[in-house]
Chain A
């Protein structure tokens, strides 16, 4: 699989990246997509290996991130899907794009709402992941407080509109949605120069 010039230009148009940056990200993609199965596609194990330095082990959040990258829902991440998703994490991507992406991450069951059970499930997963203990009482208190703040119509679930307002009030929630590295990918992956098709 190679990336043709027309593909690079199209991906640059569809994202926050320049053609050279798309080329540089292709170097990263090639590395990730051949780490376990050398087929030019990122499998979940390969993403897990890159993020956790181990190819095995369940992680709720990794599953959600992988699902959101995998636009075609065919169980692998193709290069264009990789570019589309990473573009959301670009420092210049809009706050709205980041807010929407975060909503989709947290909407575990993809019902169009972030439900109380989902928030509880995510908090419990982190407690388990980090070996932290929290009493059920305290957990309920934290979720109650969060919903009192976010769920303005008090229907027990957070809608897209409620989420927008909530994130506006708590912008630090989008901290993970920006990767400063993405402003500098051509420097981070200078080897793209050997394969470049264009000069930006």
Chain B
């Protein structure tokens, strides 16, 4: 499915997903 390394990194890395900052409010 992921033949683009950056696509893989950006969709799989939880450390880059800052939305949880707001979800934990």
Given contacts A32-B21, A105-B16, A181-B19, contact A142 B2 (CB under 8 A): yes
Q: Which residues of chain B are within 8 angstroms of A149 by Cβ–Cβ distance? A: 4
Q: Which residues of chain B are within 8 angstroms of A135 by Cβ–Cβ distance? A: none
Q: Which residues of chain A are within 8 angstroms of B11 by Cβ–Cβ distance? A: 175-176
Q: Which residues of chain B are within 8 angstroms of A129 by Cβ–Cβ distance? A: 12-14
A125→B15 CA distance, assembly (Å): 11
B20 to A145, Cβ gap below 8 A? no
Within 8 A of A (CB), among B1-25: 2-22, 24-25
A189 to B25, Cβ gap below 8 A? yes
Q: Which residues of chain B are within 8 angstroms of A125 by Cβ–Cβ distance? A: 13
B5 to A123, Cβ gap below 8 A? yes
Given contacts A51-B21, A188-B25, A189-B25, contact A146 B5 (CB under 8 A): yes
Task: Tell me if A31 counts as interface (CB < 8 A to partner B).
Answer: yes
Q: Which residues of B contact A (CB under 8 A)?
A: 2-22, 24-25
| For the complex of A and B, 9 pairs with smallest distance between CB atoms | A61-B15, A146-B5, A181-B22, A62-B15, A126-B12, A61-B13, A59-B15, A176-B16, A122-B9
Sample 18 A-B pairs with CB under 8 A, ordered by A number: A28-B22, A32-B21, A51-B15, A51-B20, A53-B24, A61-B15, A65-B16, A106-B9, A119-B6, A123-B8, A123-B9, A142-B4, A142-B5, A146-B3, A146-B6, A170-B4, A172-B10, A173-B7
